[in-house]
Structure formats: C-alpha cells, structure tokens
C-alpha cells in the first residue's frame, strides 16, 4: 500500500507574482522536513511554483530522496 503525505508550502514573502519563502517559511519547511524523517518516504513531488519547490527541496534534501517537479501540480487560476 502506498501512502501520500500532502504538505503545504511554508510562509511566502508577501509580494505579487511567484514569491519565494520568507525566513519564517524556510524555518517551517526545515521543521517539516525534520518531522518527516520518522516516515518512510521514498520520493518528493512538487509543483514548479517557487515557494513550493523551495519547501520540497528542503524536505528532499533532508530525507536524501529524489525530488520530481511536475507541471500538472501547478496551481490553476480561475
């Protein structure tokens, strides 16, 4: 059986466009990554949105697993 864990990106800088994580957001991503060490995770998937990709990179690097970016995970604007 496969399990999926959904993680929302950390806090972003409050600016329009595709903003990066704020300092707090980076700390949140790192704390999440350390929490996920207790789970058996073999791969991390991310959208190409900058803040999401940054969060996923913290997690993948901490867990020493592959990160795959998938454009189908990108937000759609109505």
> Using one digit for the tens of pLDDT, what is the confidence trace for 26-55?
999 999 999 999 999 999 999 999 999 999
Q: Is residue 18 part of a domain?
A: no
Q: Is residue 37 part of a domain?
A: yes
Q: Is residue 15 part of a domain?
A: no
Range of the domain at 56: 23-73
Alpha helices in the chain (DSSP H): 23-36, 50-63
Q: Helices 23-36 and 50-63 meet at what angle, rounded to 10?
A: 40
Domain count along the chain: 1
Q: Is residue 11 part of a domain?
A: no
Q: Is residue 16 part of a domain?
A: no
Per-residue pLDDT reduced to its tens digit, 9-28: 999 999 998 999 999 999 99
Provide the pLDDT confidence category of residue 77 given band limits of 50, 70 and 90: low
Average pLDDT of every residue of the chain: 94
Q: Is residue 9 part of a domain?
A: no
Q: Is residue 58 part of a domain?
A: yes
Output the pLDDT for position 78: 43
């Amino acid at each position: 059986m496969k399990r999926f864990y959904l993680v929302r990106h950390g806090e972003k800088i409050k600016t329009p466009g595709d903003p990066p994580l704020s300092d707090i957001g980076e700390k949140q991503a790192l704390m999440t990554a350390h929490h996920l060490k207790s789970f058996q995770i073999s791969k991390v998937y991310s959208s190409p949105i900058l803040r999401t990709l940054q969060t996923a990179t913290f997690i993948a690097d901490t867990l020493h697993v592959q990160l795959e970016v998938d454009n189908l995970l990108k937000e759609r604007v109505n």
